Amino acid sequence: MIMTSPLTKTRYFLHSPGLGRTLCAGLAALVISPAALAERSLPAPVQALSERGIDIHKRFDAPGGLVGFGASTRGEEMAVYLTPDGNHVVIGTLMDANGNDLTEPRLDRYVRAPLEAKTWALLEDSHWIQDGDTDAPRVIYTFTDPNCPYCQQLWEASRPWVEAGRVQMRHIMIGILAADSPAKAATLLAADDPAGALSAQKQGQTVTPSAQPRAVEEKVYANNQLFESLGLYATPTSAYRYQTEDGSTRIERVQGMPADDQLIKMMGSEKP
């Protein structure tokens, strides 16, 4: 066995190489709490790492008498290996005699997959405007700024799938691109018919920003914070679920306006 350290730095948000693998700092709920750590009696070296700010996610089996722990810190995923004597830990990539990376699949299973599930829950609980039939089988969350021209392009490009009842878009309204973006986002969220207001805005009607109740403004702020905590930088950024060959559900994201082939993949079918 070969142990290399430090671990190659990799960033992730959702899943696959196309995701950039940006770990969301807003997923603290998945990290083992101090009380839970005490109850599970983490080995002293692992506990020491936790106390120094490394988030410990889950324990897993490892060869050679080692015990592995999925972990992350400052947006970087890592594997922590406890030595057989229980007194030392090594942070790095475990490889076998043939040069096979034994760490990567464990990070995918014990760090990324559960974080993705939590990410989807955060998206569901965010403040969004429904676009399309609520019974449409494919759900796509997309961060939308009212002043974003590429968000406009995505809205237009998605019409065939939305109007055919195949896809429902859920626009998480944020305000980051211009000084009046937060106010416009709040105005749309506070409309008597948010879906109708968003549709009208996308079809050319000007949104006149106006003061909104604090609770509505805080919804936009919370969406902005979620966007930032997920390490995102482009609007629109969209996320959707898909099934892997082994039957598990994972999440893919697309930052910016997707290319034609990405759009088809994101929508889940050829254009109706």
How would residue 34 be classed by pLDDT, with cut points 50, 70 and 90? very low
At residue 185, does pLDDT exceed 80?
yes
State what percent of residues in the chain have pLDDT above 70.
85
Q: Is the peptide bond before 213 cis (omega within 30 degrees of 0)?
A: no
Does the pLDDT of residue 127 top 80, yes or no?
yes
- Return the exposure string of 209-240: e unless at least 16 CB atoms fall within 10 Å of the residue's CB, then b: beebeeebbebbbebbebbebbbbeebbbbbb
C-alpha 242: how far from chain center: 14
Which residues have CB under 8 Å from 64's CB, separation 6+?
1, 84
Assess contact for 145 and 220: CB atoms under 8 A: no
> Structure tokens of 28?
């603290």
Which of these ranges, 29-33, 161-165, 210-214, has the smallest mean pLDDT? 29-33
The count of residues in the chain is 272
Average confidence score pLDDT of the chain: 86
Which ranges of 125-180 would DSSP assign to H, the alpha helix? 149-163
Confidence of residue 166 (pLDDT cuts 50, 70, 90): very high
Q: What is the mean pLDDT of residues 168-178?
A: 97
66 pLDDT tier (thresholds 50, 70, 90)? very high
pLDDT tens column, 210-219: 889 999 999 9
Task: Examine the pLDDT at 97 and tell me if it is beyond 80.
Answer: yes
Q: Which CATH number fits domain 2-112: 2.40.30.60, 3.10.450.70, 3.40.50.1370, 3.40.50.2000?
A: 3.10.450.70
Q: How far is residue 67 from each of residues 84, 182, 197, 240, measured CA to CA in Å? A: 8, 48, 55, 34
Span 193-212, average pLDDT: 95
Is the Cβ–Cβ distance between 13 and 24 less than 8 Å?
Answer: yes
Question: What is the average pLDDT across 175-195?
Answer: 97
**Domain spans of the chain, in order of start:** 2-112, 126-267
| Whole-model pTM over 0.85 | no
**Is domain 126-267 annotated with CATH 3.40.30.10?**
yes
CA 240, chain centre distance (Å): 10
Q: What is the 3-state secondary structure (H, E, C) of 73-113?
A: ECCEEEEEEECCCCCCEEECEEECCCCCECCHHHHHHHHHH
